[in-house]
Amino acid sequence: MADELAVGDLMFRQRKLRKKEVAARAYDAVIAGLSWESRGPVALGRFEPIDTELTLFKFRSRSPEMEAAKVAQIGSFQGFWPRVTVKDLDPSTEAEKNFATIKAWLQDLYAAAKRPLSLLVDITCIPKTYILYLIGLGFSDELVARIDCLYTPGKYDLVSSAAAAPPALTGPRSLLSEGEWHSRQIPYLEASEYIANDADLLVTLGGELGLSLPFIERFEPRRLGLICIEETSPSRNEPMLGSERMAYEELLREPNAIQTDIKLCDALGVAQYAVAFIRDSVALGTTMMAIGSKPHAIGMALAGLADVRVEVVCRTPASYCAIDVHASADPMLYEIEDRFDPLSYIGC
């Protein structure tokens, strides 16, 4: 994987997190998401203690069991981070309400600092919708000069989990989410003009191809680009549910469909590919759909901020499945900084 890329006004770097990471700069805020997943505290647990307060986003749960797991995880973070506070939010599917809350909170931090902020965000257990929103809001409204993101890869045993689940009555089986998917345009990552009938579509794919297929087909793109996770790509003949394999083959039958495989944690590779995809387009606009990994979503956000013809969308399910996910590899560090902010020249 390459480790540095200039994208528009931003400089982007990626690397593995060190065993005992020492913060190279001061942060105005540290953010993570509370979850039922075991991998949640792993990345921040590798940092040498710093005095900046850790704010844990706690989305309201739909069951007492999920709520209890999140509350228990607070203690895990408190075990290694000096100062911890919890920001209560509405359920993660209630994006508009949460966007307003997060924006007001970030504006307050900006006003107190009297300058653009430097943030450290562990994106491991924060839904992609909110990761994209933080990046779009922060740099578009010049509230931040830098966002460093942490991500701990996880192991999803989708084939075994699906086999153990009761069969769906109709349609494709949900593996990580529940209920119907809805498209959500990410504020601050919109195209300058709405392009309804003349747009290309670039999609990062994950583990629910059966549900992705009808979601993608709604867009009727001129050209369809598919980015699969290299480690689990269907093109490698990895074990898959029959319904997932059929959905993958149907996607490739779409007119002008092209596929590439990019490693799970290679956000920079996705950004490079997305920029080239736009450059080669003859359409008036490009829709980028973040369905796959969270690092891949970062790459799309960078491309969206760099080109006004791009809109970035996510899918919002009715709810998420409470599947425990353990860390499967070393955490990653992604650094996004405004190349033209004065603080970037003095190493802050």
pLDDT tens digits, one per residue of 155-176: 866 545 444 444 443 444 455 5
As a whole number, mean pLDDT of residues 238-253 equals 83
Residue 190 has pLDDT above 90, yes or no: yes
Note the pLDDT of residue 33: 98
Residue 275 has pLDDT above 70, yes or no: yes
Note the pLDDT of residue 313: 94
Tens-place pLDDT, residues 28-86:
999 999 999 999 999 999 999 899 999 999 999 988 999 999 999 999 999 999 999 99
210 by Cβ neighbours in 10 Å (0-12 / 13-18 / 19+) ranks as buried
What is the pLDDT confidence band of residue 124, given thresholds at 50, 70 and 90?
very high
* Alpha-carbon gap, residue 288 to 281, rounded angstroms: 13
What is the pLDDT confidence band of residue 321, given thresholds at 50, 70 and 90?
low
Altogether, the residues listed in the chain come to a count of: 348
| Inter-CA distances, 137 with 3, 78, 132, 237, Å | 24, 29, 8, 39
Q: What is the largest CA-CA distance in the chain?
A: 60
Residue 186 has pLDDT above 80, yes or no: yes
DSSP code of residue 208:
-
Residue 218 has pLDDT above 70, yes or no: yes
Q: Which of 131, 211, 207, 156 is nearest to 179 (CA)?
A: 211
Tokens representing residue 300 in the block: 């799309």
Residue 317 has pLDDT above 70, yes or no: no
Q: Which helix (H) or strand (E) holds 107?
A: helix 95-113
Span of 44-48, 173-177, 285-289, 309-313 with lowest mean pLDDT: 173-177
Note the pLDDT of residue 236: 77
**Which amino acid, residue 294?**
K
- Which pTM value belongs to this model? 0.90
* Alpha-carbon gap, residue 49 to 31, rounded angstroms: 14
Compute the C-alpha angle 252/218/124, nearest 5°.
80
Which residues sit opposite 262 in a β-bridge? 229
3-state percent helix, strand, coil for the chain, nearest multiple of 5: 30, 25, 40
Q: Which of 129, 312, 118, 281 is nearest to 199 (CA)?
A: 281
Q: Which residue has better confidence, 166 or 288?
A: 288
* Alpha-carbon gap, residue 331 to 303, rounded angstroms: 23
As a whole number, mean pLDDT of residues 98-123 equals 98
Residue 279 has pLDDT above 60, yes or no: yes
Span of 59-63, 137-141, 215-219 with lowest mean pLDDT: 215-219
As a whole number, mean pLDDT of residues 234-260 equals 84
Residue 206 has pLDDT above 80, yes or no: yes
Percentage with pLDDT > 90 across the chain: 66
Note the pLDDT of residue 168: 44
Half-sphere exposure for 297 (CA within 13 Å, toward CB): 26
Tokens representing residue 324 in the block: 């425990």
